[in-house]
Amino acid sequence: GAGVSQSPSNKVTEKGKDVELRCDPISGHTALYWYRQSLGQGLEFLIYFQGNSAPDKSGLPSDRFSAERTGGSVSTLTIQRTQQEDSAVYLCASSLGRQGSTEAFFGQGTRLTVV
C-alpha cells in the first residue's frame, strides 16, 4: 500500500478480554515501531522490530503485552486481559532502515477503549 495501514481503526473491548492490533508497514521497510498515546499525552515507545526480530522491547509495559512480526512485514500487537489503563491510541510506524538518515512513516492508529 501507499502508507502504513493499521486495523481496526477503533476497538472497544471489555475489561479482561484479549485484543489484537494489526500493522501493515510500507512494503520494503525493514524497521517497524509500535507506540501508544494516551489522551492528551505524548508518544510512548513500546517495541521495535528489525525484520522479524525485536531487539528493543524495553517499552512494553507488562507481560500482558506482546508483539510479533512475520515475513518481515505484518506485525501484530497483542494485549491480554485488557485493563482500563490500556485505553489509548496505538500507533505503528515503519522506516526503510534503522539508520539515522531514514524517516519514519506512521499509520493513523488504532483507538482502543477498554470498558
Positions that interact with other proteins (CB under 8 A): 4, 31, 33, 35, 42-43, 45, 48, 50, 55-56, 59, 91, 93, 98-101, 103-109
| Separation of alpha carbons 7 and 19, rounded Å | 12
Shorter beta-carbon distance to other proteins: residue 79 or 107: 107
Contact 107, 91 (CB under 8 A): yes
Minimal distance in Å, beta carbon 90 to other proteins?
A: 10
The percent of the chain in helix, strand and coil, each rounded to the nearest 5, is: 5, 50, 50
Minimal distance in Å, beta carbon 63 to other proteins?
A: 20
Minimal distance in Å, beta carbon 69 to other proteins?
A: 14
Residue 8, preceding peptide bond in cis (omega within 30° of 0): yes
Minimal distance in Å, beta carbon 5 to other proteins?
A: 11
Shorter beta-carbon distance to other proteins: residue 85 or 103: 103
Shorter beta-carbon distance to other proteins: residue 19 or 54: 54
